[in-house]
Structure 1
């Protein structure tokens, strides 16, 4: 594991970059925040002269542009120079020099002007309107009276879109000119908004909007709370919950969880939304997240016909179009895996019964896609042809294997005993086929080839570990952590390349914990978390590099959370109210807990304590508590 620059530090409710103590200047970074009708990517930093760098890329997912494709959201950039100007003593402020930047779900930048004015900017999206807000407080730290005035609001622009003209505006609520004596302050708000020509404008109060954003952050913070001796891990998990949950957009076809990143909104994918994020939401207990997942699963059922044509990879443009440019990526396996985990974890028999036909269809599709060697064929994988994947890849087959396993549990729960028996058999057959077809010595490691003919190590050899396949766990873990695959940014996609996608790193860390490689997995997880939370690009898991410049896509944060729920705490649903918990607590810890879990038909806590050479698991809910004791690595069966 390589050392990395730690630019940020923890504070009581977030993280802080103290620029006055930073010698590695200039530096710029970007992060994304979202609401139900808007998203904003804030680029901020300090240039070589110590001056503020600040811009906002604002995205309106439901104001669709022409062509109305995957990327057809209304998007505009707002540089510092294009925003209302602060005039101090009759001169425009152009010399803001940042002192510190704080992030706690809102980004706050404190700067000093050369005339002794302290300027504090707090930027955040509205929770439910098409607006990005900026609250500005100006404080006079000099011993002289100073006048402050804000330039006129700008009308922005008009844009012709799919449903007519969209109006973009930048406005503020500053009250004329302020005269500030020593130690006096003034405050005003700036609003970046867009609307349809015939849509009535909304009156917004920036302080009220900030309170609503705070309520959202606090609500998510209180649910699915992680407690460990490591504060970096706790905070990274807290932030990952927020990024996962905030990125849900209200569309004409219901709430849609969206990846974000300035490109992917008002659309759903079988990997990001169904496979990655969907299974987390029941544990988080975020109502809108569960609604968005169920909506996504329902939307895909419209493409599950009797002739078993492949379902599309994504449903785009608020649900009125599709994208399937990479062919069949193994989308039915992704759907089956995500849907069956969501159904079980929801603890709701009505939801499970509704999703059952789609799960059966998806598994039937997988069965029909088996090649003569018994593994599941697909045109590509979730990387959509960026790297070779052959005619059958390891990821698709592993997803199908786990879907059969969990599908058997759900079938029994719903009284479909024949399906349960069938899926148990199909899982066993696929398990054997995966070993025979993909099992191989690659670059000297006893692991898996990613596809027939693959002779170079690939990051997705972690897939069997995640699904509990341990046959080649030792060689696979050695390969994953070798210098051929592990880099300072986690796993590279292919040995010898520099391209990395966090999603495979997050899968690998989860898989290592699932199969009991606790010490190494925890060490690498803590190193990764410190880099992403406190390093040069903060505070979330990222998509990829060089593609996308490490966008903060939301489902990657869901995968981070699942390292904890499914890896560290070993949560595996076995029914609508029953589960297995296999705690993976590292040697240096005596205690860890996951509180206010909302899944499996109840709210409950999991508390893990070290007891001599073993562990104690306490499960508490409204009915009381149950205590289990066993050796380290014990899989405790919990039933309501």
Structure 2
């Protein structure tokens, strides 16, 4: 395991990069922040002269461009040279030198200029308007009077789109020249916004918008709150909740949780939204996230016909079009798995009844895709042909296996005992087929081949562990952590290749916890979290490299959260008002807690304590407390007394 190089430092409620304490000044990074109608990817840093690097790619998901495809959200780049000019004593400010960068859900940049002017920038998206915002405070730290003037630089830009002409504009609310005496400050707001030509202008107050953003961030902190002895894990989890929950957009197809990353907006995918993020939202108790997940699940039902054609991989452009470029990626397996987990975790019988026909359809589809060896065929997987996957891959079959088990629990909760038994049997048969067809010695490890003919280790050999298939766990974990697969950025997609996708790393970490390898899993989780939170590219899990330049896609952060909820705390739904809990309390930890969980029909806390020879689990809610004790690895069965 490589030693992490940290550029950032953990603060009380934020992380910060102290430039004055950094011996390697030249550095730049990027992060994404989103609201319901806008997203922004901010590039920031320091150039070789020690001056500020700052630009924004602003995206408007519902202002659709032509052609209206997956990537057709209107977007525009805004460099510093395109923003309003700050004039100091009649001279354009061009010597802004950062001293401190901070992030707490908003990006703060503290700089100094000539003439003793201290500049504080706070950059964030509006929560519910089409605006990317910045609050700037200029403070005169000299003993002289200083003249300040802010001058608009650009005229409106027009873009022709699907529904007419769109206008893009940059405005500010600093009016006229102002003289600052010693220790006096000037505050003003800068707004990058867009609208339809005939849409009325929106009047907003940047300070009020900042308060809204802070309130949103604070509310997410309190829900599904993690407490461990490791502050990096706590903060990384906190930020991961934010990145997951902020990437929800108001579209003509309803609320949509979308990946982001500068390309993927106002669209949904069976992996990102249904397999990865959907199962988390009930635990977070995020109403917008639950609604967006339901919208995604409902949109796919229109494609579940009697002829059992594959459902599309994604539904795009606010729900009006589809993309099927990679063929069947195992999308029905992704849907059945994610929908079953989501339905169970909501604790809502009406939602479960509504989703049941779609889950049944998807499992029927998977049955029809069985090949002669009894595993589930698909054209590709979530990597969509970037790496070979054969005619049947390990991921699709393992997702189907887990979907059978979760659907059996859901069927039982709905009184459909015949389906519960059928799916349990189907899961058992598929388990044997997976072992027979995929089980193999690959590069000397008794693990899994990813497809027929595969003789190179692949990162997705982790997925059997995540789905509860542990027959080859020892050698599989050895293979995952061997130099052939594990790198300083987690799992390489394929041995000998530099490409990595965080999704497989996060599935792998969750699988190690699920397999009971707690000490190994926590060591690698702590190292990974420290690198992503405080290293060179912060503060979230990323999609991939070199593709996408490590974009901060939202669903990867959801997968990070699930390493905690399903891995470290071992939560596994067993019904609409019940779950199994296998806490994986690391050695040396006296206690850990997950508070304000909002799943299975109520809000509750999980507290795990170390005793001399066993562990104690306390489940507390307004209805009272439940206490459990057992040796490490015990699966505690939790069921509410009343439904």
Normalized against structure 2, the TM-score is what? 0.99
Spell out, residue by residue over 1:384-421, the C-alpha distance to the aligned partner (whole angstroms, 9 max, x if none).
00000000000000000000001110001101111111
Partner of 1:86, secondary structure, is strand
Structure 1 residue 590, shift from structure 2 partner: 0.6
Matched, 1:71 2:52: no
Aligned counterparts of 1:123 and 1:174: Cα–Cα separation in 2: 17
User: What residue in structure 2 maps to residue 594 of structure 1?
Assistant: 594
Spell out, residue by residue over 1:14-67, the C-alpha distance to the aligned partner (whole angstroms, 9 max, x if none).
100000111112100000000000000000000000000000000000000001
Match runs of 1:42-81 below 5 Å: 42-81=42-81
User: What residue in structure 1 maps to residue 99 of structure 2?
Assistant: 99
Match runs of 1:103-114 below 5 Å: 103-114=103-114
Match runs of 1:230-249 below 5 Å: 230-249=230-249
User: What residue in structure 2 maps to residue 419 of structure 1?
Assistant: 419
Aligned counterparts of 1:19 and 1:324: Cα–Cα separation in 2: 47
Aligned counterparts of 1:133 and 1:547: Cα–Cα separation in 2: 29
Structure 1 residue 114, shift from structure 2 partner: 2.0
Aligned counterparts of 1:305 and 1:321: Cα–Cα separation in 2: 17
Match runs of 1:25-424 below 5 Å: 25-152=25-152, 154-424=154-424
- Indicate conservation of the 8 Å contact 2:82/2:153, yes or no: no
What is the number of residues matched between the two proteins? 640
Aligned counterparts of 2:5 and 2:92: Cα–Cα separation in 1: 36
Aligned counterparts of 1:219 and 1:596: Cα–Cα separation in 2: 11
Partner of 1:186, secondary structure, is strand
Aligned counterparts of 1:437 and 1:161: Cα–Cα separation in 2: 50
Cα RMSD for the two superposed structures: 0.5
Aligned counterparts of 1:152 and 1:269: Cα–Cα separation in 2: 41
Structure 1 segments of 4+ aligned residues over 6 angstroms from their partners: none
Matched, 1:540 2:563: no
Aligned counterparts of 1:389 and 1:74: Cα–Cα separation in 2: 34
Structure 1 residue 240, shift from structure 2 partner: 0.1
User: What residue in structure 1 maps to residue 495 of structure 2?
Assistant: 495
Aligned counterparts of 1:214 and 1:390: Cα–Cα separation in 2: 47
Aligned counterparts of 2:284 and 2:35: Cα–Cα separation in 1: 18
Aligned counterparts of 1:477 and 1:485: Cα–Cα separation in 2: 11
- Indicate conservation of the 8 Å contact 2:83/2:152, yes or no: no
Aligned counterparts of 1:551 and 1:527: Cα–Cα separation in 2: 20
- Indicate conservation of the 8 Å contact 2:85/2:153, yes or no: no
User: What residue in structure 1 maps to residue 15 of structure 2?
Assistant: 15
Spell out, residue by residue over 1:448-468, the C-alpha distance to the aligned partner (whole angstroms, 9 max, x if none).
000000000000000000001
Matched, 1:3 2:3: yes
Report the more deviating stretch, 185-194 or 172-181.
172-181
Partner of 2:450, secondary structure, is coil
User: What residue in structure 1 maps to residue 507 of structure 2?
Assistant: 507
Aligned counterparts of 2:420 and 2:623: Cα–Cα separation in 1: 31
Which stretches in structure 1 are left out of the alignment for 5+ residues? none
Spell out, residue by residue over 1:206-228, the C-alpha distance to the aligned partner (whole angstroms, 9 max, x if none).
00000000110011110000000
Aligned counterparts of 2:248 and 2:538: Cα–Cα separation in 1: 21
User: What residue in structure 2 maps to residue 605 of structure 1?
Assistant: 605
Aligned counterparts of 1:231 and 1:81: Cα–Cα separation in 2: 39
- Indicate conservation of the 8 Å contact 1:153/1:171, yes or no: no
- Indicate conservation of the 8 Å contact 1:399/1:467, yes or no: yes
Aligned counterparts of 1:89 and 1:76: Cα–Cα separation in 2: 32
Aligned counterparts of 1:146 and 1:265: Cα–Cα separation in 2: 45
- Indicate conservation of the 8 Å contact 1:153/1:172, yes or no: no
Partner of 1:603, secondary structure, is strand
Aligned counterparts of 1:137 and 1:612: Cα–Cα separation in 2: 55
Structure 1 residue 154, shift from structure 2 partner: 3.2
Match runs of 1:426-437 below 5 Å: 426-437=426-437
Structure 1 residue 477, shift from structure 2 partner: 0.2
Aligned counterparts of 1:90 and 1:548: Cα–Cα separation in 2: 42
Which stretches in structure 2 are left out of the alignment for 5+ residues? none
- Indicate conservation of the 8 Å contact 2:65/2:161, yes or no: yes
Normalized against structure 1, the TM-score is what? 1.00
Structure 1 residue 153, shift from structure 2 partner: 5.7
